Amino acid sequence: MDDSDAAVMRAACGDTPARFAQVFERHHDAVWAYLARAWGPEVADDLAGEVFVAAFARRHHFDPMKGELRPWLFGIATNLARGRARTAGRASRAVQRLRGRAPVDVPAVELVDDAAELGQRASQLRSAIARLRPEERELLVLYAWEELDYAGIAQALGIPIGTVRSRISRLRARLREMAADAGGPPDPDPARPRRITASGETL
């Protein structure tokens, strides 16, 4: 029996919707980790389950010809997290107005990572990443931790591959600037694509 993600989704769209449970079992941990790294563990705890509720409701929209299942799930997770952030931002601004104060930015998301794994540069990396805009954190997590290719990132974020390439290039340059400002070592080869690895290497 074909047990691939595509086959499971076809079955879930057909006469055996209960097979969608396999999607949850296979991908829940990855979806939670993506949300935690990009938006924080509280968001991950709140939204990881909702991602699969939404995915089940939208299962007929999944097209395996357009990409793999995991980036599709990451796309749903991204949309839910962005919606939550917009709602939180509006609520925060409303409270500040009621208090007669100017609106304040939503605090930067605390990223989840084991300092021991990241080594000596863990603190520097977390500080730099926390200063990124939400859309930059999404891109960084999908590229560096989830290790999606450009096509997968484009699918997850709903943007063209060319846009992914240009944004990664700008993000790489910004992270190098942050590292330089913090006294970190320069990238030995700025033109060569890099990922953030367990040893703390930058893109």
Q: Are residues 5 and 93 in the same domain?
A: yes
pLDDT score, position 140: 87
Asked whether the beta carbons of 59 and 13 are under 8 A apart, the reply is yes
CATH number, domain with residue 187 = 1.10.10.10
User: Do residues 186 and 140 both lie within one domain?
Assistant: yes
89 and 16 belong to one structural domain:
yes
Same domain membership, residue 202 and residue 138? yes
- Cβ atoms of 196 and 140 closer than 8 Å: yes
What residues make up the domain containing 132? 115-203
For residues 72 and 147, state if they share a domain: no
Domain with 92 in it: what CATH number? 1.10.1740.10
Whether 132 and 95 map to the same domain: the answer is no
Residues 11 and 99 in one domain: yes
Buried b (16+ CB within 10 A) or exposed e, 1-40: eeeebeebbbbbeeeeeebbebbbeebeebbbbbbbbbbb
Residue whose structure tokens are 């100017």? 102
Q: What is the pLDDT along the chain (203 residues), one digit of tens a residue?
A: 678 999 999 999 999 999 999 999 999 999 999 999 988 999 999 999 999 999 999 999 999 998 999 999 999 999 999 988 776 554 444 334 434 444 433 333 333 333 334 344 556 666 667 778 888 888 888 988 888 999 999 999 999 999 999 999 998 888 888 777 665 544 433 333 444 433 343 43
* Together in a domain, 108 and 149: no
Q: What is the spatial distance between Cα 171 and Cα 180, in angstroms, rounded to a whole number?
A: 14
Same-domain status, 108 and 120: no
83 and 162 housed in the same domain: no
Residues in the chain: 203
